[in-house]
Amino acid sequence: MDQAYRRALDTIEWTYARGATYLYLSGYQLRWFPVEMLKLKGITSLYLSNNQLGSLPAEIGEMRNLTMLYLNSNQLRCLPPEIGNLDKLTLLDLSGNQLGSLPAEIGGLRKLESLYIESGRLSRLPVEIGELESLTGLDLSKNELRDLPVEIGKLEKLVYLNVSDNLLRELPKEVGGLQSLRTLFLSRNELSGLPEEVGLLGELEKLILCDNRFSNLTASLVKLTKLLPNTDSWEGKRGLALDGNLFGFDEEVYRMAPAELMRYVLGG
């Protein structure tokens, strides 16, 4: 037993003795998941970020009172199917790991509201992602995704979606089902177009398309009145960002009124 593990055991005992509802083991340099924490039946928040965990045991599925689980900045390559047993989770942070995929059982997290998987190695998402019916925030940036499953369109409560810095060449038309979406980050992919159904995202206020391969945009964007308000100026904010594409214009274009800019971009 190394020193880091002993230190973790001391913290677990301290938490157990006081009946605390959280366990903080971030930055302990742990290489193994301390199964001794399983006796902490009452904890709702578990912090295991900034360690060296390469895997999780199946027993993590026994911690069914967890509502927040922080596993960011470890070395996880996979998740056990039992992760789907944590059906009270509202927040799951898996950013900064080496995950190439997610188990299908992730769909069991029906109360999950925030899912962060930034800076990983995800090359695909399971179709069960569409079963996360409570999800409002999803960060998949800085991965290796080449496409998104059509089931992502079932996330009707999703407000924030970040898929920047991936390898996406197109979006499924089903994204039009994201009726609550307000912010969509798509920068630094390989996109050359958007599906017409993007025009159905009536709540969209921010659409970031920088550094792709766009030379034109779908005309349905003009329907997004919250993204392109009918005013004479941008009022200090840019809901639509297009820099680094193939439109052939520079920052001066943003001095145009929104409607005028859209006519410019759409060639009207």
pLDDT of res. 243: 84
Average pLDDT over residues 58-73: 97
Pair of tokens at residue 66: 């967890």
pLDDT value for 162 = 98
Amino acid at 266: L
pLDDT at 216: 78
Query: Which pair of tokens denotes residue 154?
Result: 């079932």
d(CA 190, CA 192): 7
Q: What is the pLDDT of residue 206?
A: 94
* Contact by Cβ (8 Å): 26, 52: no
The amino acid at 104: A
The pLDDT, as a whole number, for residue 30 is: 96
Q: Is the pLDDT of residue 182 over 50?
A: yes
d(CA 85, CA 91): 14
Confidence check: pLDDT of 218 > 90: no
For the stretch 7-25, pLDDT in tens is: 999 999 999 999 999 999 9
Mean local confidence (pLDDT), 185-207: 95
Entry pTM: 0.90
Spatial distance between the Cα atoms of 25 and 54, rounded to a whole number of angstroms: 15
Query: Tokens 């079963």 identify what position?
Result: 131
The per-residue pLDDT for 265 is 54
When pLDDT is averaged across residues 95-102 and rounded to a whole number, the result is: 97
pLDDT of 110 higher than 90: yes
Highest mean pLDDT among 191-195, 216-220, 229-233: 191-195
CA dist., res. 82 & res. 80, Å (int)? 5
Using CA atoms, how far apart are residues 68 and 151, in angstroms rounded to an integer?
25
Is a pLDDT exceeding 90 seen at residue 235? no
| pLDDT value at residue 222 | 78
Tokens of 209: 């398309």
Mean pLDDT value across residues 36-45: 94
Whether the pLDDT of residue 266 is over 60: the answer is no
What pLDDT, on the 0 to 100 scale, is given for residue 234? Answer: 43
In angstroms, rounded to a whole number, what is the distance separating the alpha carbons of residues 78 and 103?
A: 8
Structure tokens at 215: 């030379």
Instruction: Report percent pLDDT > 70 for the chain.
Output: 87
Please tell me the distance from the alpha carbon of residue 88 to that of residue 110, in angstroms, as a whole number: 8
Grade residue 28 by pLDDT with cuts at 50, 70 and 90: very high
Question: How does pLDDT run across 126-176, given as a tens digit for each residue?
Answer: 999 999 999 999 999 999 999 999 999 999 999 999 999 999 999 999 999
Q: What CA–CA distance (Å, rounded) separates 265 from 231?
A: 17
| pLDDT at site 242 | 83
Alpha helices for the chain (secondary structure H): 3-18, 258-265
* CA–CA–CA angle 34, 37, 41 (5° rounding): 155
Selecting from 3.20.20.450, 3.40.50.720, 3.80.10.10, 3.40.50.300, what CATH number does the domain 3-207 have? 3.80.10.10
Overall average pLDDT of the 67-86 stretch: 98
Q: Residue 122: its pLDDT value, please?
A: 97
Q: What is the pLDDT of residue 224?
A: 86
